Amino acid sequence: MGAGKRGLVTVAVTVVCAVTVLAAPGTAFAAPTPTPTPSASATPVTNKDLEAVRTQLDALYHDAAVATDQYNAAEEAADQQSAAIVALAKKIVKGQEKLAELKQRAGAAAAAQYRSGGLPDEAQLMLSDDPEDFLNGAGRVLQGQRATKGLLAEMTRTQEDLEQYAEDASSQWNKLEANRKAKAAAKKKVKKQIAAAEELESKLEKEEKERLARLEQQAAYKAQTAWLDSGILAEIDGKASTQGKKAVEYATSQIGKPYEWGAEGPGSYDCSGLTSQAWASAGQPIPRTSQEQWKQLKKIDIKDMRPGDLIIYNSDASHVAMYLGDGAIVHAPRPGRTVTIAGAGSMPILAVVRPDA
């Protein structure tokens, strides 16, 4: 691991890594303190019991993350539909104003024809004292008729446009209402899953919570070690782009801020809120949710990964983190946690995507 790669990680990252997560070069992660066996006098909650609790908590927070993505997607879609409805409303107003003007002009043309008496051209020629004046007038009448015909055609087109705008606005409104309902349902599910997880954790004693935390660290360490033992880190030597460096700088400067579902800063974040805002700060807007980041951004082979790239986790793309280099990521883990450093291989990797590809 070269010094150049480590230089991308801020002082805050280095301190956190040195104390809690990252170890010296060659090991990448330090093993957490083994969970002590409970004494005979302690409440008989075994490590197996706590492991079952950990598995249940992971499932609850995973479902909360999925629902959070659904909430964020519905919110983003609703915002876009609201903007579309406003734009269509402006077009309808302009179209109505144009139609009123066209009707006024058409009415004036019809009145002019009425004043001419509606006589046939032959009769007007016979009544005219000056045939040349009549011919000039007949030319103007013909032009007027053509202009009136053009006005009527334009009125028809404008009326058709107004009908289409109204139809589009109605469609967008129906989608908006559907997304509002989806957003409300997702919000309800998020709160339900988090409440269930918090209730489960509240039943643990302080010592049991500490042991549970150590079990979580051990599980993450085991997964990270297996990932590093594959030799993958030796193949990763990509250097961050200029935008990537800015995104990393933003993300690492948020370390310590709390996770909050649906949040995208500046005081708190969910996982995709952190990554989307980090890249927005680098001048590269990306999709809001981890699932859309996975779907829309360019896929990169893990061995080609460089700082600033995003790692998508879990088979359903329900979590995302930013790669920092040296096998580390920065991410907003879950409710009750803060933006922190972790091992890139501590969770099941689905894909790596590059925002500035």
What tens-digit pLDDT sequence spans the chain (357 residues)? 443 433 433 333 333 333 333 333 333 455 565 555 554 445 567 878 898 998 999 999 999 999 999 999 999 999 999 999 999 999 999 988 988 888 887 777 666 655 555 545 444 444 455 656 555 554 555 555 565 677 778 888 888 989 999 999 999 999 999 999 999 999 999 999 999 999 998 899 999 999 999 999 999 999 999 999 989 888 888 899 999 999 999 999 999 999 999 999 999 999 999 999 999 999 999 999 999 999 999 999 999 999 999 999 999 999 999 999 999 999 999 999 999 999 999 999 999 999 997
Whether pTM exceeds 0.75: no
Answer yes or no: 17 catalytic.
Answer: no
- Please state whether beta strands 340-343 and 328-331 pair in parallel, antiparallel, or not at all (unpaired): antiparallel
Kindly give, in sequence order, each residue whose CB lies less than 8 Å from that of residue 346, ignoring residues fewer than 6 positions away: 220, 221, 223, 224, 227
Q: How far apart are CA 272 and CA 293, in angstroms?
A: 8
- Angle of helix 131-202 relative to helix 47-115, nearest 10 degrees? 170
The residue type found at 81 is Q
**Catalytic, out of 5, 257, 288, 331:** 331
Alpha helices in the chain (DSSP H): 3-6, 11-19, 47-115, 121-127, 131-202, 206-229, 232-235, 242-252, 271-281, 290-296
**Catalytic, out of 74, 102, 247, 271:** 271
Kindly give, in sequence order, each residue whose CB lies less than 8 Å from that of residue 121, ignoring residues fewer than 6 positions away: 138
Answer yes or no: 271 catalytic.
Answer: yes
**Catalytic, out of 183, 211, 257, 319:** 319
Q: How far apart are CA 128 and CA 133, in angstroms?
A: 8
